[in-house]
Structure 1
């Protein structure tokens, strides 16, 4: 009886092993899918790799700037052909045999996320000692009228000429009578193309309005905390019109101030560009956005627009619009905003460096204009960066063994994907590029010997710490 029991038990175990062996492995499912996969960190804003599996165990591997990027640089094997891929027996690892260094991905767990309106599904993976996302697009959200509108070419204009093109909103306006209760200043919160946005709206008795929006960097709708990174300030002015029994805000001017955001110092923003669009009989309608209307509901005022994703507030009775709450804030006029931005930039340009955060922002801004590179080295401000460094902790030693001068300001940033073999310094938090400034020159910290704590500062060539020019344009 006992012998028969062990025989049956052995057969059951064998049957179980066969079943496990027949179960499709995750990597097999990946390569069998007729999809384009993307390897990226953060929100896939830079240093993204697209991978499409082909026949004969080969794959098209391409470096692109973003998810779904149309242009990229192919990674070939040593014969300048699409590389072969190999699936490990563990069912978790894929190796792409590219020239110089193989690209190895190891699956950690499943993953899905909405990235700027693209629904991504796939896996969290490890590669080169770092964590990545490896996924394909399942669907795309419908874009708002603002994001899908065709951008017309902007005309560069001198700063002092830009205010002359601002239209006078006091012309052809009708003072408010029936809607007199709407006069006032209001705050509201909304989301524009996945950017958490703070708004302030002023309705004037003479039938004009001004609205100021501050857009933060895009993030998941499920995030509990708003990003601190400021992307854009928009100032819109125009007329309040009663149409079809509703109150509409009809824009005449739209001023857009964009800021550098990689490594941004939120306490001292660096403006990148100033653009003015106007709606007039002469220029046509340059401000392409959905209609915006105000409406009262249950004693509360609301702002309606199909360009805005509603952020529901406590006590809000209508959940299909953005609640307007009374505010004591005062707005800066559109013309004054142009002048103040130029004055602010001039002061920044005369004294750009006064802290570690200033240095990081300035270097990030310059790298934006140099293909996300600092000198010849790619950087990834979309991963990790920081300014909590003390010069005394990074004493450099020169080739002759003498101490180098201490840096004045310092910061660290993650290297671009697949650049870990470069001059990155290994820390307990990972590998980082550590930069410092002295006498308005930029230096990079290097380890001459990887098994030694000795470090040395080397100057970054052809990377002057000049503030990028502030661009003014008119559409």
Structure 2
């Protein structure tokens, strides 16, 4: 009997082995997972590791090994420790079981010891859905036409007081970082005690990168009042307009807006804008912007390393009301002629996949991987089942299949295996190889997919 139990115990799987054999996305975090979260997904003896701001974020900074490849992982014989061999190594030890509901996300996993402190390492088992009635009421309350949105903007001149110190009046440029996103800012301070700030956030990237990620994620327009407190000047926001763009496969020369949202701070609606206190100060004949929301991006010649240096600018910001109208008009012009190049074509297909669980029809696509729009349609001539030449596509692009896409209809190219999509007469086609050992290719219609530009959503609150 004793020997029997020894055999059973010896054959049971160790906790770290069980964890790494799953297909879940795991999150390493403390508290409610709203700061400094690490996501981990184990696949084919390697790990996909991303530093992100919160549980469930779609954007993060990927940790790679010293060869810029996905890192391997090792398991300690104690059955508890997992070490991921990225250049910024990740090593933690599994403890007792953990379950918790975090803002409607049901998390299951382990308490872990990481960096000498207690963390949680868990995956999402399910996400609570609100009742249909609540969803409908919320939808009715939030959706709005772009014309009605202007009526919700708070008048920032009401209650504003003329500035006693006019040294701050003017327009300034600055550079900062918001949640790993390199951000370009422009601030205008007026004599009457009002201000407007416009921020352009780029895609998240490592702090050590020498060049900015060209992908634009969001434009933020803040307007409010300048208040003198404690001998300092504070920027008190009254309106926050957020314009988000589709970023997968983005064409930076022809951005596709995704949503426009307005939040306000007012007596009637309460404070909807959740931002840290922001102030401006003069130091050594230089002007600085201070906020715990903004990571300082040191500029040449700045003397105060704790603030964001403001430099005089001749740029003119678009007023908040006009930004709403301009975004809507731009979107209407995009609708009229959405595809003018391979890059436009890829951006549109990527946006459609974003709204369809990262799928194009039944094929999972990884627009966060490699892609290319430098194709010549003449290089992708297909033949039909009867051996006849097919019409040339109008636009073509390449993109990698999803991780589990070994069985995806990829085509072998000089750059590797890719999904090859084409557009003809506003219809979507996928290139296939009937025989993998042959150069014969054929264009096949992707059924049940309409190349329709996703609707631009306007919401308040």
Unaligned stretches of 5+ residues in structure 1: 1-30, 35-51, 70-95, 97-102, 142-151
Q: Which residue of 2 aligns with 1:53?
A: 17
Paired residues for 1:8-407 under 5 Å: 52-54=16-18, 60-64=21-25, 104-105=44-45, 114=51, 135=84, 155-177=142-164, 179-407=165-393
Compute the displacement of 1:68 (Å): 5.7
Partner of 2:412, secondary structure, is strand
Partner of 1:367, secondary structure, is helix
**CA-to-partner distance for each residue in 1:242-284, whole Å, 9 max, x for gaps?**
0011100000000000000010000000000000000001111
- Between Structure 1 and Structure 2, whose CA radius of gyration is higher? 1
Change (3 A) 1:121 1:373: closer
Please state if 1:421 is matched with 2:407: yes
TM-score between the two structures when normalised by the length of structure 2: 0.76
Change (3 A) 1:259 1:175: same
Distance 2:276 2:270 in 1: 16
Contact residue 207 and residue 239 of structure 1 kept, 8 A: yes
Which of 395, 419, 431 is matched with 1:433 structurally? 419
TM-score between the two structures when normalised by the length of structure 1: 0.74
Change (3 A) 1:344 1:119: closer
Distance 1:121 1:440 in 2: 39
Compute the displacement of 1:121 (Å): 7.7
Unaligned stretches of 5+ residues in structure 2: 1-12, 30-41, 55-59, 74-83, 85-89, 93-113, 118-134
Compute the displacement of 1:224 (Å): 1.1
Contact residue 379 and residue 414 of structure 1 kept, 8 A: yes
Partner of 1:62, secondary structure, is coil
**CA-to-partner distance for each residue in 1:76-113, whole Å, 9 max, x for gaps?**
xxxxxxxxxxxxxxxxxxxx9xxxxxx74279xxx998
Change (3 A) 1:191 1:137: farther
Distance 1:472 1:372 in 2: 23
Q: Which residue of 2 aligns with 1:91?
A: none
Compute the displacement of 1:405 (Å): 0.3
Aligned positions, number = 374
Partner of 1:457, secondary structure, is strand
Compute the displacement of 1:53 (Å): 1.9
Q: Which residue of 2 aligns with 1:24?
A: none
